[in-house]
């Protein structure tokens, strides 16, 4: 394993690679030992919280019309708070939720699988987003690729 040549970009790229590596390996474990959502929340810790000051400066302050872009990525059943003005505010609120572990994992089935992941910013008294569990990874990939593109400029 080599050292970081470009810390911010390398860290984001390696996080995406970790997720892909896990996808290839998780089939080796029984279903109840596959920790997809744990890995994704850890990825959010690394991508949203650790580089907070630097990463937010790389996010364009787009109106939340970017939800249309998310639809193109296959994120179309996730709910985002309409009071959020732009992508920077969304990520700031998600950051607060993850940093304070104000996250709820919910099931809609008798098997008690994780179906929904709700992010709340308690300081702001705001329900930030409720992700379909299957769409959280797509959002992380969208966000990470956005970071990489903007950091490389």
32 versus 119: which is more confidently predicted?
A: 119
Contacts of 126 (CB under 8 A, 6+ apart): 81, 83, 93, 120
| In the predicted structure, residue 133 carries a pLDDT above the cut 80 | yes
Task: Quick: pLDDT tens for 35-53.
Answer: 999 999 999 988 887 665 5
What percentage of the chain exceeds 90 in pLDDT?
Answer: 48
- Helix and strand numbers (H, E) in the chain are 6, 4
| Banded model confidence at residue 87, pLDDT cuts 50, 70, 90 | confident
Q: pTM to 2 decimals?
A: 0.85
DSSP one-letter string for 29-80 = S-GGG--HHHHHHHHHIIIIITTHHHHHHTS---BGGGHHHHHHTT--S-EE
CA distance 40 to 34: 12
| In the predicted structure, residue 72 carries a pLDDT above the cut 80 | no
């Amino acid at each position: 394993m080599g050292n970081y040549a470009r810390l911010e970009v390398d860290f984001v790229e390696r996080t995406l690679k970790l997720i892909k590596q896990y996808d290839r390996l998780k089939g080796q474990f029984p279903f109840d030992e596959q920790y997809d959502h744990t890995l994704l929340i850890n990825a959010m810790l690394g991508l949203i919280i650790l580089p907070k000051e630097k990463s937010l400066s790389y996010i364009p302050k787009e109106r939340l019309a970017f939800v249309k872009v998310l639809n193109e990525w296959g994120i179309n059943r996730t709910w985002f708070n309409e009071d959020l003005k732009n992508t920077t505010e969304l990520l700031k609120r998600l950051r607060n939720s993850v940093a304070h572990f104000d996250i709820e994992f919910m099931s809609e089935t008798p098997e008690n699988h994780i179906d929904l992941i709700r992010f709340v910013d308690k300081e702001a008294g705001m329900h930030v987003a409720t992700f379909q569990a299957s769409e959280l990874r797509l959002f992380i990939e969208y966000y990470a690729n956005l970071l990489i593109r903007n950091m490389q400029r």
